[in-house]
Amino acid sequence: MRMTVQIIEKDGKPEWAIVPYAIYAQLMEDTELLQDIQDYEAAKLSIDKGEELVPSRVTYAILDGQNPIKVWREYRGLTQQKLADVTGISKAYLSQIENGKRTGSIEVTANIANALQLSLDDIVSTQACIVRPRLRSSQQVRELRP
């Protein structure tokens, strides 16, 4: 394909490049492909460094409004009693946190995150999202998939 480009100058310097639409479309496609390759390489590097993959069932449960602490606790195979023991709180307190009846202090929440091998952001920011109206449920996400 022969490329014909029209250069428009302003004050003697190139300001605009006008290209045929087919060339523009190809450039956009190539840009998307390059971004996909970069995203793939970044994901591969993260996995190689030991970053955990999050199973879709965990993601969908949290998107559906389930408490992230409970979701992650169950995924990790821990009982409420075991997590409470590890974090130094009562089972009743943990139950209230998981059911939204109480909010854990920063220290307690950080201990829970540590016990679940998560960052504080993994359970705090998603808890805040549960209080606000959800933008997308997992059903909506599934419907958006190609």
Number of domains in the chain: 2
Same domain, 33 and 70: no
Tokens of 146: 């190609």
Residues 99 and 68 sit within 8 Å (Cβ to Cβ): no
Count of CB atoms within 10 A of residue 114's CB? 13
Same domain, 102 and 131: yes
Give a yes or no: residue 131 inside a domain. Answer: yes
Q: What is the mean pLDDT of the chain?
A: 87
pTM: 0.60
Taking residues 19-47, what's their average pLDDT? Answer: 95
| Residue span of the structural domain in which 42 resides | 6-48
User: So what's the pLDDT on residue 52?
Assistant: 83
> Is residue 80 scored above 70 in pLDDT?
yes
Give a yes or no: residue 1 inside a domain. Answer: no
